[in-house]
Amino acid sequence: MRLPKAFNVLLTALALSLCLVPATRAQAQPQAPAQQAKPAKKPAHKAKAAAAAPKAAPNANAAAPNPAVVKIAERDPFLPLVNVHKPGGGPPLPPGKAGLVVATIRVDGAIRAPSGMFAVVTNPDQRVYFLREGDQLYDGDVEKIGLDGVTFKEISRDAFGKSIEKIVTKRIYPSAGEQQ
C-alpha cells in the first residue's frame, strides 16, 4: 500500500519540476532589447497601413526552445538517475593477475602441489585467480603462501611520492576483528 502512494508522490514531483523548470529559466534570462523598449507612436496614416498589412512571422530566435529544457524533456525516463559507474574510477587496471589490487583481494583457499603452493583468490568482480609465490600484482607481489593464508608485499606511495612497502597477511578464515 505504501508503494503506490510513494510512486504518486514521485510522479507529482516530477511533473511539477518539468513544468516549473522552463518558467524559472525564462524568468532568469534577460529579455531582448527590442522586447524591453516600447515602440514610439506611429503617425495615424502609417498605423492604418500597418493594421491592414498581414502580421509578420514572429522572431525565429524567440520561438527557439531553450536547449537545456529540450535535454531535460528528451531524457530517457528508464535510465537510472544514480551513476552506474563504480567508485574509484581511476585508470583501467591491466587484465589478469597484473590488475589485482592487494586491498581488494579475498583469499579463498590454498593448494599444495608438487610444483609448489598455489593460492586461490577472487577480486571484487568475483573472478577467480591462482597465484604463486613471486607473482607480480598491480600494487605489490606475493611473498609467501601457507595453508592458512597468503602474505603480500604491498607497495604504495604517500602524499609526497615516497614509496612505502607494507606486509599484508590475508587469511583464509580470518579471526574476529581481522580484516579479510
Residue 174 CB coordination number (10 Å): 14
Chain CA centroid to CA 146, Å: 39
Average pLDDT, the chain: 75
- Where is pLDDT greater, at 2 or 107? 107
Lateral strand order in the sheet of 140-145 = 136-137, 140-145, 149-157, 163-171
Average pLDDT over residues 101-121: 93
- Where is pLDDT greater, at 81 or 89? 81
Indicate the pTM of the whole model: 0.49
Contacts of 123 (CB under 8 A, 6+ apart): 100, 101, 104, 105, 106, 129
Question: CA 7 to CA 55: how far, in whole Å?
Answer: 47
Chain CA centroid to CA 17, Å: 23
Candidates 55, 61, 13; CA nearest to 35 is: 61
Set out the domains of the chain in order of their start, with CATH numbers.
2-31+40-74 (no CATH), 96-171 (2.30.30.830)
Candidates 115, 168, 120; CA nearest to 147 is: 120
> In this model, does residue 41 exceed pLDDT 60?
no
pLDDT band at 150 (very low <50, low <70, confident <90, very high): very high
